[in-house]
Amino acid sequence: MSNHQLERFEGRLFAKDGHLHFVVSACEATNSARVSCRVDGERKVLELTLTEVRQLICTDSDLVLDNANGGESAKRIVHNKDGWYFSAREGQMGPYATESEAEKGLSDYIVSAQSKTAAG
């Protein structure tokens, strides 16, 4: 594998086990890649083989991300008399006790929707 091919892995995103993963680095000598993800609010760094990473990236080649941190997402968080909600295609989701819980719910929803799209 050329350095150019390895560089194409680095910085790539894919969904696995309902979580969004980011390829931090790839090394041909060890046939491994360091992959970062967030599970239950905690950052985890995993070691995967390059073959596995290649398969996961190819599986998610049509992965389209909804920008959870963009201005449009902020418009999706609303407060009603009974709590905080976020807007989804299926309607309003919630209630959440706080705005930050609704933001986390939206983020989790986006990752879940992307994972279902990638699997389907």
| Angle, CA of 105, 110 and 111, to the nearest 5° | 100
pTM of this structure: 0.50
Instruction: List the structure tokens of 113.
Output: 């929707």
**What letter represents residue 6's amino acid?**
L
33 has a pLDDT exceeding 70: yes
Separation of alpha carbons 78 and 81, rounded Å: 10
Which tens digit of pLDDT belongs to each residue from 94-117? Answer: 999 999 999 888 878 877 765 554
